[in-house]
């Protein structure tokens, strides 16, 4: 026998799924609540229809929007847009590549042209050069530090200029104001992957970028325990990006959003220390006889050292250092294998210092010619500096270069 809920005589199964609602405290919780619900209830059909149509704000289904996920995206937007006169908005994604893919799909169409940095993350290069090319989007990869070269390949079909604040792994610094001028003249959007910088180092929107994207897995989360991505732009552009996200479905889970939001609270503290250690680490390895080159903008020999000083917050040059040992691929891998404090692992931006042989890991999809064009030597080893004592990291790397501990 079945009964209506609330009658006092409802059946046990109805009672089980109609439990009392949780109390809503009048006091403000010190931690952000996590809303794990995938679907939200309405009092009327018209209310449901109004939210779906965008006639009023609200939540209906977690793939479309989630309050916990929105809180994280809005928090990143607040950090990225701190120096801007107008408000910017954020959209969160399941990963950094989900953010980049969705932004590019939102801003291009068949027949569109993209100008991209030659020295970018390997999967971003693959996305542009292989996947999007199948759908009629053509990309020219150029030396992004040469503004004349960038301007020379712009066409009437150019929709996006894509670069990284700090390139992966060569640590080249993009002239954001110069690229913004070229993009505006072309009627294109300047999209900047600022994962390697974070808003604790540089805020590209302040220098004319239209969209900034992050793999939030890295510095924003900061503890190597969650995966996510985020894009920040004007409300108009974000609405286009949100629409593409809803259709594609790369939504961020609320528990991941909670962890990423938590990471933002210590972002400036962590990044300032990591950047200081990275500068000391780069300086200590630069003159070693077994090292051909060290890539880090804090070094005076770095081609964009002066530019970094103008764009980045004082004393913060990023916390990734790429070391190019003399020799080839085997020499670089052997150097990484001899490390004892730094750990061989993927990703970056966490509390532990991580090291990886570039050509066989993050840039494994690139050909030898593409690696050379991007300034990546066969033996290059990328260090993501963590929170260890600087001298321990330096001694470990020097001993590894000398042949072992």
Q: Tell me, yes or no, if 219 is annotated catalytic.
A: no
Which listed residue (121, 219, 258, 317) is catalytic?
121
User: Which SS3 state, helix, strand or coil, does residue 64 take?
Assistant: coil
Which listed residue (118, 218, 270, 382) is catalytic?
218
Cβ atoms of residues 247 and 226 within 8 Å: no
The Cα–Cα gap between 94 and 121 comes to 18
Joined together, the tokens standing for residue 17 give: 């799924």
The Cα–Cα gap between 102 and 240 comes to 10
What are the CA-CA distances from residue 180 to residues 23, 49, 191, 192, 307 (Å)? 50, 40, 9, 10, 15
Q: Which residues are CB-contacts of 104 (< 8 A; sequence separation ≥ 6)?
A: 114, 127, 128, 132, 137, 160, 162, 191
Q: Tell me, yes or no, if 148 is annotated catalytic.
A: no
What are the CA-CA distances from residue 216 to residues 198, 230, 325, 348, 361 (Å)? 9, 6, 30, 11, 20
Cβ atoms of residues 385 and 392 within 8 Å: no
Give helix then strand counts, H and E, for the chain.
15, 12
Which listed residue (40, 63, 140, 293) is catalytic?
63
Tell me the pairing of strands 291-295 and 320-325.
Answer: antiparallel
Which listed residue (65, 70, 175, 193) is catalytic?
193
Neighbouring CB atoms inside 10 A of 54's CB total: 9
Tell me the pairing of strands 320-325 and 381-384.
Answer: antiparallel
The Cα–Cα gap between 134 and 211 comes to 24
Half-sphere exposure of 258 (CA within 13 A, CB side): 10
What are the CA-CA distances from residue 273 to residues 68, 225, 283 (Å)? 29, 20, 16
Name the nearest CA neighbour of 347 among 192, 199, 225.
Answer: 225
The Cα–Cα gap between 70 and 152 comes to 40
Q: Tell me, yes or no, if 218 is annotated catalytic.
A: yes
Q: Tell me, yes or no, if 310 is annotated catalytic.
A: no
* Phi–psi pair at 162, nearest 5 degrees: -115, 130
Prior bond of 42 cis (ω within 30°): no
Residues carrying an active site annotation? 63, 121, 193, 218
């Amino acid at each position: 026998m079945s009964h209506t809920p609330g009658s006092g005589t409802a059946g046990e199964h109805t009672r089980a799924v109609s439990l009392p609602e949780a109390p809503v405290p009048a006091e403000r919780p010190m931690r952000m609540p996590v809303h794990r619900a995938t679907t939200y209830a309405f009092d009327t059909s018209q209310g449901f229809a109004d939210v779906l149509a965008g006639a009023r704000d609200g939540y209906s289904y977690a793939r479309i929007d989630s309050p916990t996920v929105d809180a994280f995206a809005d928090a990143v937007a607040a950090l990225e847009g701190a120096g801007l006169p107008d408000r910017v908005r954020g959209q969160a994604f399941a990963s950094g590549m989900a953010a980049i893919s969705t932004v590019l799909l939102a801003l291009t169409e068949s027949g569109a042209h993209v100008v991209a940095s030659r020295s970018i993350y390997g999967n971003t290069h693959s996305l542009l050069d292989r996947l999007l090319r199948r759908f009629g989007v053509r990309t020219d990869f150029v030396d992004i530090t040469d503004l004349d070269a960038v301007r020379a390949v712009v066409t009437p079909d150019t929709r996006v200029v894509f670069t990284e604040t700090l390139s992966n792994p060569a640590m080249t610094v993009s002239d954001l104001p110069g690229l913004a001028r070229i993009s505006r003249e072309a009627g294109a959007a300047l999209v900047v992957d600022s994962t390697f910088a974070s808003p604790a180092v540089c805020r590209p929107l302040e220098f004319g970028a239209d969209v900034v994207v992050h793999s939030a897995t890295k510095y924003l989360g900061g503890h190597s325990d969650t995966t996510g991505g985020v894009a920040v732009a004007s409300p108009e552009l974000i609405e286009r990006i949100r629409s593409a996200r809803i259709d594609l479905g790369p939504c961020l889970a609320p528990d991941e959003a909670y962890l990423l939001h938590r990471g933002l609270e210590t972002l400036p503290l962590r990044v300032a220390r990591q950047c200081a250690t990275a500068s000391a680490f780069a300086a200590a390895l630069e003159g070693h006889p077994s090292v051909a080159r060290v890539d880090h903008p804090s070094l005076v020999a770095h081609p964009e050292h002066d530019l970094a000083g103008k764009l980045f917050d004082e004393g913060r040059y990023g916390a990734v250092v790429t070391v190019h040992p003399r020799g080839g691929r085997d020499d670089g891998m052997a150097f990484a294998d001899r490390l004892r404090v730094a750990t061989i692992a993927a990703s970056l931006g966490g509390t532990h210092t991580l090291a990886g042989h570039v050509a066989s890991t993050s840039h494994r999809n690139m050909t030898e010619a593409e690696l050379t064009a991007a300034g990546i030597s066969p033996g290059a080893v990328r260090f993501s500096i963590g929170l260890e004592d600087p001298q321990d990291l330096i001694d470990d790397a020097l001993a590894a270069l000398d042949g072992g501990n």
